[in-house]
Amino acid sequence: MLDRIVFDFFAGIAIVSAILVVTRRNAVHSAIFLITALLATAGIFLQLHAEFLFIVQIILYVGGIMVLFIFVIMLVNLDVALHQLQFRRQWWLGLLLALALGAEATAAISIGRSGLPDSSTAPPASVLDPNTELVGRVLFTGYLLPLEIASVLLLVAMVGAVVMAKRRT
Q: Which of residues 58-97 bind another protein (CB under 8 A)?
A: 58-76, 78, 81, 84-88, 91, 94-95, 97
Indicate whether 13 belongs to the interface with another protein (CB under 8 A): no
Indicate whether 107 belongs to the interface with another protein (CB under 8 A): no
For the CB of residue 120, give the shortest distance to another protein in the complex, in Å: 11
Q: How far, CA to CA in Å, does 129 sit from each of 48, 50, 52, 133, 134?
A: 12, 9, 10, 8, 7
Indicate whether 36 belongs to the interface with another protein (CB under 8 A): no
Indicate whether 52 belongs to the interface with another protein (CB under 8 A): yes
Asked whether 13 and 37 are in contact (CB, 8 A), the reply is yes
Asked whether 31 and 18 are in contact (CB, 8 A), the reply is no
Q: Is 36 exposed, middle or buried (0-12, 13-18, 19+ CB in 10 A)?
A: middle
Q: Alpha-carbon Rg of the chain, whole angstroms? A: 21
- Please pick, from the candidates 9, 13, 31, 120, the single residue that binds another protein as defined by CB under 8 A: 31
For the CB of residue 102, give the shortest distance to another protein in the complex, in Å: 5
Indicate whether 131 belongs to the interface with another protein (CB under 8 A): yes
Indicate whether 109 belongs to the interface with another protein (CB under 8 A): yes
Tally of CB atoms within 10 A around 143: 13
Q: 105, 101, 100, 37: which is closest to 69 by C-alpha?
A: 37
For the CB of residue 63, give the shortest distance to another protein in the complex, in Å: 4
Indicate whether 132 belongs to the interface with another protein (CB under 8 A): yes
- Please pick, from the candidates 9, 107, 139, 144, the single residue that binds another protein as defined by CB under 8 A: 139
Indicate whether 48 belongs to the interface with another protein (CB under 8 A): yes
